[in-house]
A = this chain, B = another copy of it.
Amino acid sequence: MAGTRWLSDREQRAWRGFLTAYARVEARLRRSLQQNAGLSDADYAVLVNVSEAPHGRLRIFQLGAALDWEKSRLSHQLRRMEARGLVTREGCDTDRRGAEVVLTRAGRSAIRCAAPQHVEDVRRWFLAPLSRAQLDALTDITETVLAHLDAQE
């Protein structure tokens, strides 16, 4: 392994900074969400996506694509959320293999209650210190990385 091209200091700083910033921000948001609303990040992501969908219902595979989750992860997640009364799963009329996720009244209530605090948390712990230029630079960077990943297959 003599020919390995290691990361330069510049590259290390950027990469480790990215990892660390994500981990630290995620930890704060997770604790706040859990304490204030009794929801995990995963719960929140599911509730947001379903509540934003056309009629408050979404095919499971579409939700999986939106979240970019493994299908088994989503299936386990929905089972736990259904057990807690946040969503229901209903069979699909047009394709009998499929199913739809629908928010329950409690699910709608949970996301309505959780969202304002969560948005405030995202501001406080992530967006607040960033200038307009930094914000746009970040969007540019993440979209560059995502486009490059997609282009690789």
Contact = CB atoms under 8 A, between A and B. Distances in A.
Interface of A: 1, 4-7, 10-11, 13-15, 17-18, 20-25, 28, 68, 112-113, 115-116, 119-120, 122-130, 132, 134-149, 152
Contacts of A124: 152
B112 A145 contact: no
Interface centre among A4, A13, A23, A141 (most CB of B within 10 A): A141
Given A22-B22, A138-B14, A142-B17, A128 B148 contact: yes
Contact of A140 (B20, B123, B127, B134): B134
Contact of A119 (B6, B25, B142): B6
